[in-house]
Structure 1
Amino acid sequence: MIKQYLAYQIPHSYDAVDHQLISFVNRYGLNILRLSLATVFLWFGLLKVLNVSPVTPLAEDLIPGITTGTFVFALGIMEIGVGMSLVFKKLLKVSIAIMVTHLASTFSLLITLQETMINDSNPFLLTLEGEFIIKNLVLIAGALAVASAVCAERITKNDRVNQ
């Protein structure tokens, strides 16, 4: 009798937990992702604006004719703007385009600063700085997920209006 009860109860308990987890992810997952991206951009941008960012040395001599301080400060302001747009959902599509462009452009550092990004000329042996750049793949994927959800939401709203 106990075996039959357990055989019935365990799968149903799992299904209930699974259903709750799926409901939670469907309800809050996208907002958690959006606000996580916002946190990263606000935090990193603020570090740049306050001139305490550990990436400032990477920016030295990156763009001829622009002082490192000015470039990093402007980059910080841009990152704060992207972060704020993610929080408040204003100009979200534009900000996501800026974010993806900015993050994708950082991959040029893997080529221009190879000695800083790669150990022993082996592209699979990244330095700490190289790993910092590669993690942008995850941020880009997150930005694209937020963008696709925003676009899908707008398409659904337009479909309702046009019906």
Structure 2
Amino acid sequence: MHPLAARINHLDLEIVGWFGRHGITLLRLSIGLIFLWFGVLKFFPGVSTAEGLATRTISVLTFGVVPANVSLPVLAAWECLIGLGLLSGRFLRATLFLLFAQMAGTFLPLLFFPAETFKIFPFVPTLEGQYIIKNFVIISAALVVGSTARGGRLITDRKAARVAEEIQAHRS
């Protein structure tokens, strides 16, 4: 192998190794920061751009029983709890359960309020619709984070992958 190619290959292995060692932790922390940030905003009426849509969705879900002055602080606390759970890395399974339940609710405005979430249903979302649809990425990221809840991790090179396969075959 040419010396320059060998150096580039070594650098690539180092970078990919760093991704493998730190990527899931950074993913967990970034999702946690988003939840904490957006949750805190909901404690201040009129500050969160998602406030109106969120409280109207909860009102529809509860048949108007839960008023906005109750639902908004509850949602804020729920999101902050998810954020703190992800940031701390503690109680990860319970935190992810809360996250997935909250995420299920975030998609309901697409059904309940299509005139507000789509310019042209179902292909051209409004800014609010885009805000909701991006949650597919958060769900996928949470699945990756959840894969570590029982000690899972990324394997970043072929040798480690072979060892993992041998261990798996031995367990079977």
Query: Do both share a fold (TM > 0.5)?
Result: yes
Which of 57, 64, 77 pairs up with 2:52?
57
Post-superposition shift, 1:34?
0.5
Q: What is the CA–CA distance in structure 1 between the aligned matches of 2:54 and 2:65, rounded to whole Å?
A: 12
Structure of greater relative contact order (alpha carbons < 8 Å, 6+ residues apart): 2
Question: Deviating runs (4+, > 2 A) in structure 1?
Answer: 59-62, 151-154
CA contact (8 A) 1:42 1:83 kept: yes
- Corresponding residue number in structure 2 for 1:28: 22
- Corresponding residue number in structure 1 for 2:139: 140
Q: What is the CA–CA distance in structure 1 between the aligned matches of 2:22 and 2:44, rounded to whole Å?
A: 32
**Number of equivalenced pairs:** 147
Greater fraction of residues in helix: 1
Secondary structure (helix, strand or coil) at the match of 1:151 reads coil
- Corresponding residue number in structure 2 for 1:70: 70
Post-superposition shift, 1:18?
0.7
Residue deviations 1:13-58, cap 9 Å, x none? 2201111111111111111000001100000000001222111111
Determine what percentage of the aligned residue pairs are the same residue.
30
TM-score by length of 1: 0.84
Any gaps of 5 or more consecutive residues in structure 2?
A: 154-172
Post-superposition shift, 1:11?
1.3
TM-score by length of 2: 0.80
Q: What is the CA–CA distance in structure 1 between the aligned matches of 2:75 and 2:81, rounded to whole Å?
A: 10
Map 1:1-163 → 2, pairs under 5 A: 8-51=2-45, 52-62=47-57, 63=59, 64-120=64-120, 122-153=121-152
Secondary structure (helix, strand or coil) at the match of 2:124 reads coil
Larger CA Rg, structure 1 vs 2: 1
Q: What is the CA–CA distance in structure 1 between the aligned matches of 2:118 and 2:71, rounded to whole Å?
A: 24
Q: What is the CA–CA distance in structure 2 between the aligned matches of 1:26 and 1:60, rounded to whole Å?
A: 39
CA contact (8 A) 1:49 1:76 kept: yes
